Structures are given as structure tokens and as C-alpha cells.
Amino acid sequence: CLLLFTVVLLVIAECLRTRRPSSFPPGPWNFPLVGNIFSLDFSNLHTDMTKLAEKYGDVYSLKMGPSWIVVLNGIDALQEGLTKGDHLVDRPAFPLHTDVLPDLGIIFTNGHVWKQQRQFALLTLKYFGVGKKSLESSILDEFMYMSKEITVHKGKPIDLHLTMNNAVSNIICSLIFGHRFEYGDETFMRLMKLFVRGPQLEGSIWAQLYNAFPALMRRLPGPHRTVQTLYGEILDLMKTEINKHKEDWNPSDPRDFIDCYLNEIEKHRDKKDEDGRFDEDNLAMCSFDLFGAGSETTATTLRWAFLYMAKYPEIQAKVQAEIDGVIGQSRQPSMEDRANLPYTDAVIHEIQRMGNVVPLSLPHVTIKEVQLGGYTIPKGITVIPNLTSVMFDKNEWETPNTFNPGHFLNEEGKFVKPAAFIPFSAGKRVCLGENLARMELFLFFTSFMQRFTFSMPPGVEAVLKPRFGVILSPKPFEICATSREE
Ligand code: HEM
């Protein structure tokens, strides 16, 4: 009886200690200790979070274990949070990462180190051709390698997952490592697998439990351990590539991101920049980040493209007709064609909207007390920008849940981009690879449509319901890619 009384007392004390702070955003009732973790559907978290906004408003709160988080929904709340001022510019620390990875790189660093590394990465990507002809040729060459692989199958059903990842990753490889890999290369295949598996596991309930209760979870087995092993292995692969570069590095002739970074390390050796971090550990982490953020995202968007084109053959035929009229079959597409291909451009944007590959963006954290949506949010609270709530908002899109390229066309058939199209998020942390991704999506997609027609294998329906993770991906599928020359 005394034991029961003590337990009840402890539970009441816990409820009082962790109750929703006054003037904090509203949200669902939560359980002592675990909060809302077990009442959320982690196989569909982005839709679950969007539905909660209908009940609690555009700015609401949830409790993940002992910690509060705030979810921003709708374009106004996201703009207010991400683009007005610096109060959300930082990222929270996640034990799942910090236990295995150094506090370095771009995606999860803050303050001076983040600014310095982000700026360096942006400038270096630009130097190596993002937005320029040289990179355009690498993308088109990569398409030709991939096209050869696909043509061999003569329109029979194939799973293009690995091929697409290989092709997109090779573009990042050329920028960071200065070379591409053959598709069957063992190191490359291993890298691909690791980068696919990591984000899948990160969206799971295991990852949330680890971040909420690190002291307990560190002692337990489970998929969180796999995530950490994967990340350790990727980091080792990056370090191997850096060591290879050091063997024949010529400072006056940088070949790629790694060479430029090695130069930067030299430049900073004598500078008194105590807060900055240009060293080999950070080079490995920055390469890890660029690779991780830049391959699976773009490749998954293209896999959605195959499915949507197979599902809507009339839209596919219209894209092909536009490409045939503007580019024809005798030359490869170029970025300059984009302005003359408004329908194709609209289809690419609609694939990105419906594919919604980064549905909850990446988490941010308040760096000081801030007012959002009329509520006061203290310093140190994790904030999730729910991109799904914006890209499927019934007040912003004519047919939010239906594939409709018309969302991106005006009455004269010209391409328009509504403000609610934010797959790359917004504000100071906006996707660093947006320009690269947009280039890859345009060139790969138009090249595919110029050379192939996609259809589902006989008797198979395209499944458009996604599989949730940090990246929203299609369930594994086979597709027929028939050469248009046949
Ligand atoms: C961050 C989306 C491709 C590099 C992000 C964020 C989103 C996003 C939503 C989070 C922004 C925020 O925190 O508010 C996408 C999509 C892509 C794509 C949809 C493709 C279709 C790429 C590529 C690269 C890249 C190709 C590589 C060069 C990064 C980096 C960050 C980031 C480094 C972290 C930026 C920072 O913390 O400052 N991306 N991304 N992304 N992305 Fe992308």
C-alpha cells in the first residue's frame, strides 16, 4: 500500500514538474515520463503531425520523453519561424549522433563553425561548377552511363533504386572526391547501402527513444546501434579518401572539394581563429554531410518521378511531346532549355511537391526566448518545421492530394512557383544543395523523358503511399523503362 502511494506521488510530482509551461503552444495530453512518444504514429509521422495542427493550430507542442518540442505548420508560421530573425538558426544536439560523430560538419553544427563551413562549402561547390557548363556535362555523361545499364534490360521490369542512387552519388563523388565510381565498385556499393539505411532508421521510434532517454538506451541493443555503426563506417570511408588525396595533393591545382579543403587547412594553420575549425576531422565530417544530404534526397525524388510518370501516362506523353518539340532527339538537354519547357518544369516541381522527400525538414532549436504564433517559446526548445503541412495545404493548392502539374502553370501555360513550394525549407539553414539538386533533377528527368517511357509491369499498380523515414521514399518497386528508339 505504501509502495502504491509512493508511485502515485512520484507520478503526480513528475506530471507537475513537466507540465506544459504557461503561454506555451497547446498540444495533446501527454503521459508522464514518455510524453507523446507512444501516441504518435512513427510509420506516418508527417501526416500525424499535420493532422494535429487541425486540432491545436499552426503552432503546437508535443513532449518527446522528458523534452518539449514545438511543431510549426502552414506557410505563415514557417516563414515567421525560419525567415524572420535568427532565433531558430541553430540545430539541437541529438545523442544518437553526438555519441558517435564529432560535433563538426555543416548539418549539425552551430555558431561560427557552422557559418564558416557552410560558406566554404557553398563557394567550393560553385567553384566546381554548380550552375556551370562543366557540371552540366558531368550530369549528362552520368545519364549516359545509367542509360546503358537500363537499356540492357530491354523494357523488362527492373528495380532502379541502386542505379539511380549510384548515378546521383557519382555527381557528389565527382565534386568531393574528384572522380566517379564504376557502378559495381565494392566501396561504392557499400557507401550507397550505408547512406540508404541510415536515414531509414533515423525516422524510427528507436531513434526517438534514444534521443529522449540516452542514458537508458545506450545500455540496450536495438536498431539505434546499427545507425551508429553505419555512421562510424561512413566516416572511416571518408577518411580513407582524404588520405588517398594527401598522397598526390597539389595545392596550386585543386581537383575537388577535398583538395580545396586541404588548402584551407594550410591557410588557417597560422591564423588565430580559435572558434573556427579547418582540420581533417572537420573535412571528413563535411564530406559525410554533403554526401549524406545530397545523394538519397535527389535520387529518391527521381524514383518518385518514375512512379508518377508510370501512373499518369498522359502526363508523361505530354512531357515527351514538349521535349521532342524543343530539344528533339539529336542532342542532349541543357539547362538553357528549362525556360522553353514550362510543362516539363511544372511536372518536375509537382513530383517534388507530391514526393515531399524531406517531410519534416531538419530540426531547429530556439537560441533565445521567442514569440511564435502568439506563444512564448523558451530558449533551447526543439522546433520542427512541418514542410508537409505547407506542401499539402488545402488553402494553398487547388488539388493538394492529387498529382496536378497545373499547380505550377498560369492561365497562359507559363511556369509559376507558388510561395508554398518549400521542399528545400527556408531561411538561413535552407538546403545548401538546392541549386545542385535543381540542376540534377532537371537534367536527369528531361534526359529520361527524351530516351525512355516508364510503365508499371503488367498487372502491377504504382504504389504512391510512401515509407516514412527522415526521407520519405517509395516502397521497393520494379518498373519497365522502354527505350523510345525501339
Ligand atoms: C539541408 C532538402 C538536396 C545539402 C536540407 C534541408 C532540407 C533539404 C529540407 C533542411 C533545411 C532546414 O534545416 O530548414 C533537400 C531536398 C533535396 C536536397 C528536397 C533534393 C531534392 C541536397 C543536395 C545537397 C544538400 C544535392 C548537397 C550538396 C544539404 C545540406 C543541408 C541541407 C549540407 C544542411 C544545411 C545547414 O544545416 O546549413 N536539405 N536537399 N541537399 N541540405 Fe538538402
Q: Output the pLDDT for position 14.
A: 66
C-alpha torsion angle, residues 191, 197, 201, 202 (rounded to 10):
40
CATH number for position 430: 1.10.630.10
Better pLDDT: 381 or 3: 381
Binding-site members are 431
Residue 307 DSSP SS3 = helix
By most ligand atoms within 8 Å of CB, the mutation choice from 91, 108, 424 for ligand 1 is: 424
pLDDT of 84 strictly over 90:
no
Q: Is 286 contained in some domain?
A: yes
Q: Is 78 contained in some domain?
A: yes
Query: Ligand 1 centre and the CA of 441: distance in Å?
Result: 14
Q: Is the C-alpha dihedral spanning 182, 187, 190, 192 positive or negative?
A: negative
Nearest CA to ligand 1 atom 21: 298
Query: Ligand 1 centre and the CA of 264: distance in Å?
Result: 23
Give pLDDT tens digits for 357-392.
Answer: 999 999 999 999 999 999 999 999 999 999 999 999
By most ligand atoms within 8 Å of CB, the mutation choice from 291, 428, 431 for ligand 1 is: 431
Q: Is 1 contained in some domain?
A: no
Work out the end-to-end distance of the chain between its first and last CA atoms, rounded to an integer number of angstroms: 81
- Confidence band for 184, pLDDT divided at 50, 70 and 90: confident
Distance CA 365, CA 87 (A): 8
Query: Ligand 1 centre and the CA of 11: distance in Å?
Result: 41
Distance CA 211, CA 433 (A): 27
Q: Is 5 contained in some domain?
A: no
Nearest CA to ligand 1 atom 23: 294
Q: What is the mean pLDDT of the chain?
A: 90
Across the chain, which distance is largest between two alpha carbons, in Å?
A: 85
Query: Ligand 1 centre and the CA of 167: distance in Å?
Result: 18
- Confidence band for 269, pLDDT divided at 50, 70 and 90: confident
- Confidence band for 95, pLDDT divided at 50, 70 and 90: confident
pLDDT of 329 strictly over 70:
yes
Residue 210: burial class (beta carbons within 10 Å; 0-12, 13-18, 19+): buried
Angle between helical axes of 434-451 and 161-176 (0-180°, round to 10): 130
Nearest-atom index, ligand 1, CA of 125 = 28
Nearest-atom index, ligand 1, CA of 358 = 9
The proportion of the chain whose per-residue pLDDT surpasses 70, expressed as a percent, equals 95
pLDDT of 76 strictly over 80:
yes
Q: Output the pLDDT for position 99.
A: 77
- Contacts of 86-89 with C-beta under 8 Å, sequence gap 24+, read 86/367, 86/428, 87/366, 87/367, 87/368, 87/370, 88/364, 88/365, 88/366, 88/367, 88/370, 88/383, 88/427, 89/364, 89/367, 89/427, 89/428, 89/429
By most ligand atoms within 8 Å of CB, the mutation choice from 170, 297, 383 for ligand 1 is: 297
Q: Is 187 contained in some domain?
A: yes
- Confidence band for 481, pLDDT divided at 50, 70 and 90: very high
Q: Is 242 contained in some domain?
A: yes
Nearest CA to ligand 1 atom 39: 431
The residue behind cell 591545382 is: 253
Query: Ligand 1 centre and the CA of 298: distance in Å?
Result: 10
pTM, 2 dp = 0.93
Query: Ligand 1 centre and the CA of 429: distance in Å?
Result: 8
Q: Is 7 contained in some domain?
A: no
Nearest CA to ligand 1 atom 15: 424
Q: State yes or no: ipTM above 0.85.
A: yes
Please state the domain count of the chain: 1
Number of H helices, E strands in the chain: 18, 10
CB-based pocket (< 6 A), ligand 1: 106-107, 118, 289-290, 293-294, 297-298, 301, 357-358, 361-362, 385, 423-425, 429-433, 436-437
Q: Output the pLDDT for position 213.
A: 82
Q: Is 62 contained in some domain?
A: yes
pLDDT of 273 strictly over 70:
no
Range of the domain at 58: 12-483
Nearest-atom index, ligand 1, CA of 440 = 26
Q: Output the pLDDT for position 107.
A: 93
Query: Ligand 1 centre and the CA of 423: distance in Å?
Result: 9
Binding-site members for heme are 431
Joined together, the cell numbers standing for residue 312 give 499518369
